[in-house]
Structures are given as C-alpha cells and as structure tokens.
A and B are shown apart, each in its own frame.
Chain A
Amino acid sequence: MSDAMVQVQNVHKSYVRGKQTVEVLHGLSLDIPRGDFVALMGPSGSGKTTLLNLVGGLDTPTSGEVLVGGERIDQLSGGRLAEWRARNVGFVFQFYNLMPVLTAEANVELPLLLTNLTAAQRRKSVAIVLEVVGLADRARHKPKELSGGQEQRVAIARALVSDPAILICDEPTGDLDRKTADEILGLLQVLNREHGKTVVMVTHDPKAAEFASRTLHLEKGQLLEQAAAA
C-alpha cells in the first residue's frame, strides 16, 4: 500500500464561466506523502487554489482521480464528501472565516457538533486545541476582539479539533504582518513535525514556503516539475 497521503492522478478541471469553458488544471498528477508539509506556489490563475480545493474535497475534478488517505474522494457524492471532510480535513483560510457571532471556543467547537461527543467531551477537546495554539486565555473572546494572528490561531484550532490527518491552508499568512505570519507558520510546522499532520499550503510568499519541507510550483495548470519532465 502506498504511503502517499494525497494522490492526484491526471486531473483535469474546467469551469464554465458564462459561455466559456476554462480549463484550469491540465492533466495534473501529484503525490504527497503522509506527514509532508508542501507549499504550492505559482502566479495568480495557475490553479493553486483549484488544486487545493480538489485535495480538500471542496470541489470535484472534471476528470482524473483524487485519492486522499487511500480513498477516492472524486467519486463521493455531496453528502458523503461533506462527511469525509468533517472526519479527515482541517481548513485554514487567508481571511480566517470565523463565525463573528461566536466566541473563540464556540468557533472551535463548531466542527464537533457533527460528532457524537458529549458537551463535556467537546469542551475538553476545545480546551486542548486552544492550549496547543496558545489561546487558552482568549477562549471567551469573539473574533472582533482578537488580533489577526489570534483569529488565525482560532481558525487553526478549529481545523485541528476533529483531529484530521491533513491540513489544507489557503494563504494562511496572506493577511498577516511578517512577525505574526512567522508565528503562524511556526505553529503549522509544529503541527506537522510533532503531531504528524500532513500540511498542504498555498502561498505567494517565498518566506512562508521556507517553512514547508518542499515547494511545488504550478504554472498554467501544471506542476513545473511535471512539465519539465514531460
């Protein structure tokens, strides 16, 4: 059995925009080993976020196969895919995407509402991950009462709380200053190295990419490494 956490095989992805069909990914193939920390870089429109969405089960390919943890997620229906995401993936976005009406701890608890955990078990899990991201003392604060870095830590805690094997991060430091960005990236590195999480991160920032164990470059819907080999 392959030790690849993510296997993308000959994936094409097209979008219909008005009367036009735009192909974003052209037969892309990629393996990401379990426990890897991969940075995806490339110019705007190169297909980074599209690839990330496919790996995270937010979108399905037009053709080709996407396997995550050995499961063909490109064949899952909407409901099954939602269940799969809840169990297997944690997402971190550039603009945090927290629920403004909920406190930090309630935001983190949100994915656990999909589990069978009791309220007490949920509270315990939330407390642990908030401790891991260093925000135990801000648990009762709402997002607008937190700094950008703290909001992103809450988002990471929310991504971690259901203990997923893979973290999908779309420009996680794009909205942060250098110092805060480095702290967040350091946290992702810790999660990767010490907790064994596979991290796939899209970034425009070469300094951010330095925190990853390897960097893949996309251009015009293909991996540069793959294009060169062809």
Chain B
Amino acid sequence: MTRTGFVIANLWRKKTRTVLTLLSIVTAFLLFGLLQAVNVLFSAGADFVGATRLVTQARVSFTQSLPMRHLPQIESVPGVERVMWSQWFGGVWQENTQLIIQAVDPARLRDVYPEFVMPDAEWKAFENTRTGMIAGRNLANQYGWKIGQKVPIASNIFPQQDGSKAWTFDLVGIYDGKDEEWQRSTNGGWINFAYFDEANQFARGLAGVYIIRLADPDDAPGVATTIDGMFENSPDETKTQTEKDFNIGFFKQIGDIGLIVRWILFAVFFTLLLVVGNTIAQSVRERIPELAILKTLGFKDGAVLGFVLAEAAALCVIGGFIGLGIATPLGVIITKASGGYLPLAVDANVWVMGAIAVVVLSLAVGLLPALRAKRLTIVDALAGR
C-alpha cells in the first residue's frame, strides 16, 4: 500500500456518495468545457486565418442594408475573385415556422459558394425564373417540397408592393452540400434577387451584405482593411470580417454572451462548491477518530492535511478531466450539427482553464476540512470531544 492507495481507498469509503459527487463534478466541467469554448468563441478577436470568403456588412449593424453602388468598388479590390450580395428575406412557412431565405443573384451565388451543388439544369432554371427559388436538401426534406411546386411564404419584413405579406415562389432546384459538413448547411433557401428587388414595397437596390470570394486566403486581412477603408467616413461605412466571425455575430444578437456564460459558470461552480465542499466536510467529520489514529501512529499534522486535500483534489481532478474529456468530442459534434455556424472548440486553452479551475475548486472545497483535520488534537478526537 502507498499513500496514494490510502487516499483512493478513502475515496471509495462510500461508493454511492463518491459516484454522485463525481457525477456533479463531471457535469459541471462538461458545462465548463462547452461554455468556456463558447466564451472563447465570442470573445475572440478577428481571425482571418484560412478564410476564403469575407462578408461586408454595414458597420452599425447587419440589419442595416448597404447601397448597391458599393459592388463595383468592392469588385475592384485586388485579391477579390467574385462578389455576391444577399438580402435577408426571412420568411414564414405555414403557421409560424421561420425559414432562412435570402435573395441573391443566382449566378453569383453559384460562383461564390461552389460548395453548394445542384444539376446545371436547376441552376439555369434558377437564373431564368424570376419567381424561382432553390431550397437546401434538408429544408426540402423537412417540409416535403418537390421541384416544380409553388412554395407560399410570408415575409414579416418585406411586403409586396400591394401590401401583401404573402409571396409565392416556384421551387426550381434542390441543392446539396459538397460533403457531409456542407450537407448540414442545406437548411436554408435562396430566391431570385431581381424579382424580390422589383416586387417588394420599399427596399430597392439594397444589399443586406456582400459576400466576397477571395483568390488567396492570405489576402483576407488586407482585402478587409481595403474595403472598409474605401467606405470610411461615408454615409455607408462597412465592417468586413470572415464568414465565421459574421456567423458568430448573429448569435451575439442574443446579448452579451460572454457575460451570460460567466454568470452561468459562476452559478454552476458556486453550487458545485457547496455540494462537493459539504461532501468532503461530511467525510472528514465521519472519521475524526481515524484521523486522530493517523496522528497517533506518527503522521504529522501536515500529512493529515495532505491526505484530506489529496482526497478533495482527486475527486476534482477525476471529475474535472472526465467532464472536459466528454466536452471535447461533444464540441466537435455540436460544431458539425450546427453546420459550422457554432464552432465550439474545447481546445488546449479550455483545458488549461479547466485545469486551473480544478486546482481552485480542490483548494476551495478541501482546504477548510483539511485544516480542521490538521488542527484536531488526538486526545480530544479519540474521546469524541
């Protein structure tokens, strides 16, 4: 037997209690891993590494549209290969099911997003049908849409010129993703901008955002700076960022995600502190005589303190690392399931923060009971005082 073996044996003194406590720590660190990944994601600065597409939006908010006159200027920037624009249409299907529908130029969409694949005939039909619409495979499957049918969609943002919110589009194509990851992004649809622009009541010649396909990802920071510089101090200032950062900005509409995450984590760890702290304290209370016997046998006060702290640390380390261990693949699963819109990376940084949290938690829950064990006098403890 070793001292470590003694600590482990004591941990399993009451198996049910230990397992339940471990589960609470695992759950807390699973949340910690995922929420910390969210926090890192939302508090990270601009990252242009590997970006093949940029999104230019109005500097104030992406809910503000940009004038179409920006298009030729953006196209003229060196490094820009192709530019498309899109206008958020939204759309409500039947009772109140929100759809992700955007108005685009079909040919530009095809050039900028080669990841969306569809037969040539359907692309042609989309280009040539003013009321045409294409839907992603997931969206079409969800509602049982078939090519050739009319799709009635209401828009709460853009009424038609006669004031009607009801729009009807002809489904001319159903697109797939080029691979499994992109297939998960086929939950939206596109309508023909030319028709939308002419038929809607007030938004004319306006692009929601410009999406820029780059010739070389290394040009991303320079192109972004150049574009935003071109429109600086104009009535329509822009903010150009990577597609990933733009998508994250979407979630930021919810509120200050970082603050929300921090408060949730605070609540989780405060609760954990009480639960695990109580468990350790109870465990020490139950075996005051045993701790006194350790001292009787010659273990010094510091050694007894060490045993109790080691038990608390072992619980936190095992639970913490299992929790983070589960969070890591779960982050990958969430990233894939969200079609890359919510890239949660439980990476080395999160693990380092998790390790720090484990140390802090171990000390917080173990120190007081350990000090109590250290201070107890043999004679009083053996006499039950």
Contacts and interface: CB of A to CB of B under 8 A. Distances in A.
A54 to B, nearest CB: 10
A82 B299 CA distance: 6
A85 B301 contact: no
A113 B1 contact: yes
Interface in B243-302: 289-290, 293-302
B13 A101 contact: yes
- 4 smallest A-B Cβ distances: which pairs? A86-B298, A101-B9, A106-B1, A82-B300
B297 A85 contact: yes
Binding site of B, secondary structure by majority: helix, strand, loop or mixed?
helix
Interface string A54-77: 001011000000000000000000
B300 A79 contact: yes
A5 to B, nearest CB: 19
Interface in A88-107: 91, 93, 97, 99-102, 105-106
Nearest to A168: B296
A109 B10 CA distance: 16
Contacts of A79: 300-302
Given A58-B378, A97-B289, A110-B6, A102 B1 contact: yes
Given A58-B379, A82-B300, A113 B2 contact: yes
Interface in A24-60: 53, 56, 58-59
25 contacts: A56-B296, A58-B296, A59-B379, A79-B302, A82-B299, A82-B300, A83-B298, A85-B296, A85-B297, A85-B298, A86-B299, A87-B298, A97-B289, A97-B293, A100-B13, A100-B290, A101-B10, A102-B6, A105-B1, A106-B1, A106-B6, A113-B6, A114-B297, A114-B299, A158-B297
Nearest to B304: A82
Contacts of B301: 78-79, 82
Interface of A: 53, 56, 58-59, 78-79, 82-83, 85-87, 91, 93, 97, 99-102, 105-106, 109-111, 113-114, 119, 158
Interface in B296-327: 296-302
Contacts of B297: 85-86, 91, 110-111, 114, 158
Contacts of B295: 82
Contact of A99 (B12, B290, B300, B378): B290
Interface string B10-39: 101100000000000000000000000000
A78 to B, nearest CB: 6
B31 to A, nearest CB: 32
Binding site of A, secondary structure by majority: helix, strand, loop or mixed?
helix
Given A59-B379, A85-B296, A87-B298, A101 B12 contact: yes
Given A58-B296, A102-B6, 13 more contacts: A58-B378, A58-B382, A78-B300, A82-B298, A85-B297, A87-B298, A99-B6, A99-B290, A100-B290, A102-B1, A102-B9, A111-B298, A113-B3
B308 to A, nearest CB: 14
Nearest to B378: A58
Contacts of A85: 296-298
Contact of A91 (B6, B296, B300, B302): B296
Contacts of B5: 106
Contacts of B296: 56, 58, 85, 91
Contacts of B302: 79
Contacts of B1: 102, 105-106, 109-110, 113
Nearest to B8: A101
A97 B378 contact: no
A111 B303 CA distance: 13
Contact of A97 (B12, B290, B299): B290
A108 to B, nearest CB: 10
Contacts of B3: 113
Nearest to A56: B296
A59 B13 contact: no
Contacts of A53: 378-379
Nearest to B9: A101
Contact of B298 (A97, A109, A114): A114
Contacts of A83: 298, 300
Contacts of B298: 82-83, 85-87, 111, 114
A112 to B, nearest CB: 9
